[in-house]
Amino acid sequence: MFAVQSVDVGLDSAFLWQVLSNDGNVMLVPRQIRLGSLDSFCLEPTGDSPPEAVVVLCHGYGAPGSDMVGVVQDWASLLGEQASRYQFLCPLAPLSLAELGMPGGRAWWSLNMARMMEAVQAQRFEELHAETPPGLDAARTQLGELIQTALERMADKTGQKIDDIPLAIGGFSQGAMLTMDTALQGPCRAPNLLFQFSGTVICQPQWNVQMSRLSRTRVYQSHGTVDPILPFASAERLRDMLISAEVDLKFHQFYGPHTIDGDSIQTTATMLKELTR
């Protein structure tokens, strides 16, 4: 129910997907790797020149994780030759939802779906906004370790300092919440770019205190105005929190449901281009 509508390439790490630039010399080959305690799809160019920037994109509740590869595919097509400068990581959430009737579905933390739907219908999100969901702390630690490990490996390959490596993180729905929380409270450094696709506010008291961590981060936030899962009003709350903290924010609303729209893909691809200039 929370999965973005995009290309599902499956969880077979043996498949190959090629993205070619106009010159035909950029090839991204997905493979499944483990960084810290998380498995992840890794898409990076083949060839002698290693990538110089890390991009981490987290899936939403109930998705298999491979759906985010479709978003990377769209980005790579828009980036063209510049796609060779990035290592894209699409981590797989640690919890399986097979026992809940979602084979292949995964989650970053468990959700009380009945309570959430009741809150949506009654338009009572105050308690949910303020809560720290059980399991969030562990997920934040795991994602932070993945990001830190990726940065350390790239530093070893390129000779860059970890703090100088361009870093973008983001996600869809539950993945957006996790990446915002990791940017604000995680064990790794704050990213240069933070993408929030159809996310919402959790841990509001803690987030408000930590907003200064985003002082050098550009944030892109998008949300559908008729989202039946995470109401648009909740997105406005997050927007207002970021604006109040004077975070460099680009906010995009669109008429649509719980998804990532085409304008968001194009705009974030442009922001990625600017990341490595």
- Residue 125 has a pLDDT of 66
Mean pLDDT of 228-252: 95
More confident residue, 220 or 231: 220
- Helix (H/G/I), strand (E/B), else coil: 142: helix
Mean pLDDT of 29-36: 88
- Residue 27 has a pLDDT of 56
Look over the chain and give the mean of its residue pLDDT values, rounded to a whole number. Answer: 86
* Phi-psi domain of 47 (left: phi exceeds 0; alpha: psi -120 through 50; beta: other): left
- The answer to whether residue 73 scores a pLDDT higher than 50 is yes
- The answer to whether residue 10 scores a pLDDT higher than 90 is no
86-91 and 38-43 strand pairing? antiparallel
Asked which of 15-19, 23-27, 168-172 is least confident by mean pLDDT, the reply is 15-19
- Residue 101 has a pLDDT of 87
Angstrom distance (rounded) from CA 248 to CA 162: 23
- Residue 24 has a pLDDT of 47
CB of 92 closer than 8 Å to CB of 106: yes
Q: How large is the angle between the packed helices 68-79 and 262-275, nearest 10 degrees? A: 60
Give the containing element (helix H, strand E) for 251.
strand 248-254
Q: What is the largest CA-CA distance in the chain?
A: 56
- The answer to whether residue 26 scores a pLDDT higher than 60 is no
Q: How large is the angle between the packed helices 136-158 and 174-185, nearest 10 degrees? A: 70
- Residue 5 has a pLDDT of 33
User: For 230-239, what is each residue's pLDDT tens digit?
Assistant: 989 999 999 9
- Residue 6 has a pLDDT of 33
218-224 and 248-254 strand pairing? parallel
Q: How does residue 13 score in pLDDT terms, banded at 50, 70 and 90?
A: very low
- Residue 20 has a pLDDT of 43
User: For 140-174, what is each residue's pLDDT tens digit?
Assistant: 999 999 999 999 999 999 999 999 999 999 999 99
- Residue 22 has a pLDDT of 42
In 3D space, the residue among 64, 81, 47, 83 whose CA is nearest the CA of residue 6 turns out to be 64
Mean pLDDT of 186-205: 96
- The answer to whether residue 87 scores a pLDDT higher than 50 is yes
Mean pLDDT of 85-101: 94
